[in-house]
Amino acid sequence: MAQLETGKKPRRWPLITDVVCSGCTFSASVLRFRPIGPGEAPRWRINVTAPSEFRHPSFRGVVGIARRDLTPPIGIYSRTWGAALHDTAESIHRPLTLTAMTLSTEDRATPLVLVCADLSFWKSPNAFLRLQERVLNEFSLRKEEFIFSLSHTHAAPPLQDVDDSAPGGRLLREWIESITVVTIDAVKEAIRNSFPATVDWHTGSCHLATVRDFPDPERDRYLCGYAPNHPADETLLVGRVTDDEGAIRATLVNYACHPTTLAWENKAISPDYIGSMRETIERVTKAPALFLLGACGDLAPREQYTADLGLADRHGRQLGFAALATLEDMVPAETRLVYSHAVESGAPLAVWKEAPTSVSNVLKAQCPIVSVPLKNWPTTSELEQQIQACTDRALRERLIRKRATRLTIGDASSFPLPIWTWRIGDAVIIGSCCEFYSVFQKELRRHFPDRAIICLNIINGSTGYLPPAELYDRDIYSVWVTPFDRGSLETAIEAASNSIRTIVN
């Protein structure tokens, strides 16, 4: 505290205003000092405008939930790592699932449809486009009303077109074709069994994610791995779906962390940590838990790249317990906390009590397009020639991925990046087909502190990373593997901010 001396003008404390926490806002004025006379004790006063209430960002509407098993057969082509020496899966660690959630209101002709699936990434762009077209036609949806979100597990088969003659190739083709049928079936059930509900969001934290851009001690480059000296974004957003009887009907977990616990030595089909996370939450809530992958371009577990299935389960329990702790910290649906009165005790006590609150039923969807610059990459045909000439297994895998990305983005100098934006009451879901670095979600939440901002990576397709501009001068995987040129992330953040600003006003 500033020291006050008789007869001297006291120093003033800095102004503190608009301190924001989840669900409430309050302001405090500066400490006001007045000059004091000889022998007079210093006096000070704090003027504080207290928050009038605490409430969760919420939505009131009609919700549907349905789950289907998506586990592929043993023997399916499942190579997703360049360092892998095997091509097919030999066992099942945990089942893969697909969960559909529909959101609607009484005055909407069609719902918003969110699908969360334990899938890796779309190596063949046409595979997702075929699924998207059938779903949109089946339910008469507009493009902006459908989000297909991948968990991005690296222990599931790649979503790509392969020849039937490849090891497990026929099984892969048949399994990918079945995903569309399973999706439509799940959405139909969700719509058929929908119910009035309240969706509340609350912010927690989890230490699972760490920064994964590690300076190579032996070479002038960065490795994908734990970087101890860099703080990670540990933000966890939990959504709770409650029916009119007060029962939890579903939870949603939005967290940014690459599911890369299991890697090239693993031969089992697995949802990675997401499977154990689901089991941990559902054992308590008795309701489906949906996982929404956040902006994790630079985030992954501290321990990873293993065949240890127990480690994946441990990671899942860590996130699951963090989500349950966040759920326990929530007030009941359609309820707020309000200041009631003061009680004079050993200390003057502020008493807060629960009270009913109104809940927003606003439901909107939009999908603006922003043009982002592309690198001067080889054409698709040139990459095909490089693949045919390559004999190194790991390098060939990199070229195959690069060709798949080139097929997705085309041969132009820029790419029309879609940004799906949903307003669900006081919350906003926003994401795209790329892999944003975590600064994407940090900046959006900083710009809109009074909203629950649920950021999603790898929805409705898979393209490439969006790292910050300053990393483009470094030898780092996320830069040399992405088709997007310097400044693309910053352009996307600005476009996403504008989209949120539009949809909430």
Lowest model confidence (mean pLDDT) among 33-47, 105-119, 229-243: 33-47
- List, in order, residues 6 or more apart from 358 with CB less than 8 Å away: none
| pLDDT number for residue 8 | 44
User: 391 pLDDT exceeds 60?
Assistant: yes
pLDDT digits (tens, 9 = 90+) for 466-485: 999 999 999 999 999 999 99
pLDDT digits (tens, 9 = 90+) for 422-458: 999 999 999 999 999 999 999 999 999 999 999 999 9
Provide, rounded to the nearest whole percent, the portion of the chain with pLDDT above 70: 90
Q: How far apart are CA 201 and CA 252, in angstroms?
A: 9
Q: How many CB atoms lie within 10 A of CB 146?
A: 25
Residue 374 phi/psi, 5-degree rounding, is -110, 155
Q: Which amino acid is at 336?
A: R
List residues bridging with 493 in a β-sheet: none
User: 257 pLDDT exceeds 60?
Assistant: yes
Q: How far apart are CA 210 and CA 258, in angstroms?
A: 10
Place of tokens 């959405």: 187
DSSP 69: E
Q: How far apart are CA 219 and CA 475, in angstroms?
A: 10
Residue whose C-alpha is closest to residue 367's, from 146, 218, 158, 204: 146
Q: How far apart are CA 47 and CA 32, in angstroms?
A: 8
User: 103 pLDDT exceeds 70?
Assistant: yes
| pLDDT number for residue 284 | 98
CA angle 395, 386, 297 (to 5 degrees): 45
Helices 125-139 and 393-409, axial angle in degrees (round to 10): 40
| pLDDT number for residue 44 | 52
User: 32 pLDDT exceeds 80?
Assistant: no
pLDDT digits (tens, 9 = 90+) for 141-196: 999 999 999 999 999 999 988 888 889 999 999 999 999 999 999 999 999 999 99
DSSP 433: S
Q: How many CB atoms lie within 10 A of CB 282?
A: 15
Residue 189 phi/psi, 5-degree rounding, is -65, -40
Provide, rounded to the nearest whole percent, the portion of the chain with pLDDT above 90: 78
pLDDT digits (tens, 9 = 90+) for 3-19: 434 444 444 444 434 43
Query: Three-class SS string for 348-365?
Result: EEEEEEEEECCCCCCEEE
Confidence label for 37 from pLDDT (cuts 50, 70 and 90): low
| pLDDT number for residue 407 | 74
What does the mean pLDDT of the chain come to?
90
| pLDDT number for residue 403 | 76
Q: Which amino acid is at 397?
A: E
Q: How far apart are CA 16 and CA 456, in angstroms?
A: 33
Lowest model confidence (mean pLDDT) among 39-48, 98-107, 312-321: 39-48
| pLDDT number for residue 10 | 43
User: 20 pLDDT exceeds 50?
Assistant: no
Of the two residues 86 and 165, the one the predictor is more confident about is 86
Q: How far apart are CA 311 and CA 304, in angstroms?
A: 8
B/e letters for 218-243, b = 16+ CB within 10 Å, e = fewer, are eeeebbbbbbeeeebbbbbbbbbbbb
